[in-house]
Amino acid sequence: EDVQARADSRRIPINKVGIKDVYHPVRVKDRSSGEQHTIANFNMYVALPHNFKGTHMSRFVELLHGNEREISVESFRDILAQMTEKLNAQTGHIEMEFPFFVMKKAPVSGVESLMNYQASLIGELHNGVSELWLKVVVAATSLCPCSKDISKYGAHNQRSHITIKAKVDGHMWLEELIDIAESEASCEVYGILKRADEKHVTERAYENPKFVEDIVRDVAVRMNNEARVRAYVVEAENFESIHNHSAYALIENDKDEVVGL
């Protein structure tokens, strides 16, 4: 007898049930070089109606092993659809988080190096309608306008994490979100910088001071202007070089939300 398929009398549906923290190799298409190999962490859930006792955990992992050793981002929506079908669910949810690399050119020397970003795809399918969120965490430099303003010389600056999570309609590259985050920081960061590059990024950041509030607003302006983005959450966290805590800001916006009915 199948214990999971037994009837359940508590009359309580479950919003999400499935597996968490499964690692699996994936291939991700990128804008420049075709595709890259990386390792993703998966969370895969379905909604369970009140009258079923349990779901079938092994089927989630089977989906990841479907056809070939590595799964691709293109197959992400397919897996979401297959999952809800295979688990007889009306609602499915998949999160896939992975390190993502972009080859960048240093600003003066032009030396190339890989930069790593933490990226995610988040898909939700509900009654046949799916939505897809892209998420990137982008390391960058922030330099404090107040510190620059009041000091004879110098200005405190630090590594900052800019996080963009966007519900997209149509195709959008992860690199497009990364570009937006990097261009709205005080300066972007690189894997390799030669002396002339280091001079450039130091001066660039000094010429372009930004509070954490400025960063999230300037990114939000870009997201507002981007038609493919239907909703977003933008965060910036400065790992302050003069404190042992972070400065933090967040803006969220759902363009399709109906307000004031």
Q: Which residues inside 155-214 make contact with its own copies, applying CB under 8 A?
A: 155-159, 187, 189-195, 198-199, 201-203, 205-206, 211-214
Between residue 115 and residue 154, which ones bind its own copies under the rule CB under 8 A?
A: 115-116, 139, 141, 143-147, 149-154
Q: Tell me which residues in 227-256 interact with its own copies (CB under 8 A).
A: 237, 239-252
Nearer to its own copies, 113 or 130 (CB): 113
Strand partners, 119: 98, 136
C-beta closer to its own copies: residue 58 or 170: 58
Is residue 24 within 8 Å of residue 40, measured between CB atoms? Answer: yes
Farthest CA pair distance, the chain: 78
User: What is the rounded CA–CA span in Å between residue 236 and residue 213?
Assistant: 8
Which DSSP symbol is given to 48? E
Give me the least distance between CB of 44 and its own copies, in Å please.
9
Interface mask toward its own copies for 39-78; x: CB under 8 A: x---x-x--x----xxx-xx--xx-xx---xx--------
Q: How many CB atoms lie within 10 A of CB 116?
A: 13
172 vs 192 by CB, closer to its own copies: 192
What is the separation of C-alpha 44 from the centre of its chain, rounded to a whole number of angstroms?
Answer: 16
Which residues is 126 bridged to in the sheet?
Answer: 91, 129
Residue 38 interacts with its own copies (CB under 8 A)? yes
Q: What residues from 85 to 104 belong to the interface with its own copies (CB under 8 A)?
A: 99, 101, 103
CB of 75 vs its own copies, minimal distance in Å: 16
Q: Using N-to-C axis directions, what is the helix angle for 212-224 and 174-183, rounded to 10°?
A: 140
Identity of the residue, 48 or 170, whose beta carbon is nearer to its own copies in the bound complex: 48
Which parts of 1-30 interact with its own copies (CB under 8 A)? Answer: 1, 3-4, 8, 10, 12-25
Distance CA 167, CA 131 (A): 7
Residue 260 dihedral angles phi and psi, to the nearest 5°? 70, 40
